[in-house]
Amino acid sequence: MANAPTRPPKTSRYGRRPPRGPRLVPISRDDQQRVARIRQASAHLSKTGAPDLAAEVDFLLTEDGRKFVGRLHWQERSDEAPNFGIWMPESLRDEIKAKASTAGAHLQSEAEHALTEFVEGRFTPAQPKRAGRGQAGKKVNLNVRINAGLRGRADEMGQELLNEGELDWAPSTSQILVSYFMDRVEEGFRDPIRKA
């Protein structure tokens, strides 16, 4: 045989047995009580003439129910602070990530601080300069979760500053954050803003 296996299947190169799957961790006593109460609620609903509701309660204790509850949690979080892609040169994004990590800065907290400072009039972003044709380099997104309401207020403030003649351009959320992160990179994320 030209392609015969050199070792028996499902054995490790290092002589150890392969893992048997996810390691099950026993649930806490509080969680055991919650499970018991959920089962009691289901039994009560069945006895009182609401078997359809009892089936929904039972569903929560299944694997699909666990996934459903997890999706609810993530949906609430994404509604509150959806992902926001900040378009910038790849070199700047890489520098932001590296210096923020070294300083211990949390990018979401830094971004929300920048927008709050802008909305409250304590930060004015630099107007972006256009790169010459073919000189911009590769552009990518820096993805950060930002409170949707704060983003909306920042965009409104940018338009308001243009309308009132305080600025000759209307900074967008993305432009505010690029300017802020450029300043933070230059100072090496001095006094980093950590996760709240």
Residue 3, in any domain of the structure: no
Judge whether 146 and 115 are in contact, CB under 8 Å.
yes
The reply to whether 21 falls in a domain is no
In this prediction, residue 118 carries a pLDDT of 93
What b/e readout covers 54-74, taking b as 16+ CB neighbours within 10 angstroms?
Answer: beebbeeeeeeeeeeeeeeee
Q: Does 100 fall in a domain?
A: yes
pLDDT tens digit sequence for 61-118: 888 888 777 777 665 555 577 888 999 999 999 999 999 999 999 999 999 999 999 9
- Of 24, 128, 54, nearest to 86 (Cα)? 128
Does 137 have pLDDT greater than 90? no
Residue 11 covered by a domain: no
> pLDDT tens digit string along 138-149?
889 999 999 888
Residue 169 in any domain: the answer is yes
Percent of the chain predicted with pLDDT > 90: 43
* Long-range Cβ contact pairs of 118-125 (< 8 A, separation 24 or more): 118/154, 118/157, 118/158, 118/171, 118/176, 118/180, 119/150, 119/153, 119/154, 119/157, 123/176, 123/180, 124/167, 125/171, 125/175, 125/176, 125/178, 125/179, 125/180
101 shares a domain with 169 = yes
- Confidence (pLDDT) at 76: 57
Q: What is the pTM of this model?
A: 0.60
Q: Is residue 42 part of a domain?
A: yes
Residue 16 counted as domain residue: no
Amino acid at 126: A
Residue 139: closest CA among 152, 151, 150, 128? 128
Give the contacts of 107 (CB within 8 A, at least 6 positions apart): 96, 97, 100, 142, 144
Are 154 and 181 within one domain? yes
Phi, psi of 51 (to 5 degrees): -65, -30
User: What is the pLDDT, as a whole number, of residue 20?
Assistant: 62
Q: In the predicted model, is pLDDT for residue 179 greater than 90?
A: yes
Looking at the domain assignment, is residue 191 inside a domain?
no
Cβ burial of 124 (10 Å; 0-12, 13-18, 19+) is middle
Question: How does the average pLDDT of the chain come out, rounded?
Answer: 83
